[in-house]
Structure formats: C-alpha cells, structure tokens
Structure 1
Amino acid sequence: MRTENKLETILPMIKDNGATYRVKNHCLIVELGSDLDHHVSIQVKEHSDRIIQTGDIRHVIFDFSKSSFMDSSGIGVIMGRYKQVKY
C-alpha cells in the first residue's frame, strides 16, 4: 500500500530561476536548470529547506543533467540537505 505524502498534493511543482522542485513518494527532487554556483545555491537552499521542513521528506535527489559547474557553495547545499534528511 502506497502512503502518499500530503506535500505531494499541495506542492506539485515549484520553479525558480535556478531549479525545479517536486515531491514524490516522500522524496524531494531538485532539478537544476543551470550551474550550481553561489547565487543559485542560495535559492536552492532556501526552497529546499522550506520544503523539507514542511513535509515528510525522507530522500533528496539532485538532478545535475543540465549543469556543468558547481562551486563549494553547491557542495555545501548538498551536504546540508543530506544532514537535514538524515537526522
């Protein structure tokens, strides 16, 4: 039996300049639309934090298929979301 996350029904998709955010099966999917540099990292961190705190998120998937560059702030975003979901 599949348990649907309440967040899936109220948050089908959020899109900003840097990424698209979807929730499916307790998983936050962040599809990056460009490189993950300092400016984009701020937006991704704020949006993903809000979603993780709002819903029952157990996993986070970052889709880097449209990215060719990531700086240290991008690595910080990934590690921070990992820690949020893990604990």
Structure 2
Amino acid sequence: MADAKQATLYRMVLPDHVCPFGVRARELLLERGYDIDDRVLRTRDEVEAVKDEFGVATTPVIFLGEERFDGADALAHALARR
C-alpha cells in the first residue's frame, strides 16, 4: 500500500528495565495507524550503539519516513501537527 504510514522505532527493552518513553512512542504510533518497524534494543551494548550511531543521549529514536524524532515528546508534538 503506497499510502501506508511507516515508522521505524528504536526503543530500549532490557531484562531489568523497559523504557517508558519507548512504550509511549509505540502507543502514539499505533494510535495514529502507523506500521511500525519496532527495533527493540535488548542489551546495553545495542542501546549504546544506537545512541552513538544517531548522536543522541537517550532513546527512543523514531523515524517517520526520513524525518527523525528524538524522544516520545518530540514525536507527540510532530504528530499533533499532522
């Protein structure tokens, strides 16, 4: 489907901690009907690699197409304007 809304979500789900902001970002995307490529980071090494790759201090990192949003709050603000 060419008009499908696509999102890529990098979020932390460690054995001892599930990032609440990643959960919130996923919920926001689902509420808006996005098809999510949910890239769950299951180790500290995976989390650090994503933070290094994108030059951010925290997760989640969300892509709507080519547009990147750092954190659930930034995503929420962007979705409110769409």
TM-score scaled by length of structure 2: 0.35
Instruction: Kindly indicate which of the two structures has a greater share of residues assigned to strand.
Output: 2
- Tell me which of the two structures has the higher relative contact order, counting C-alpha pairs closer than 8 angstroms and 6 or more residues apart: 2
TM-score scaled by length of structure 1: 0.33
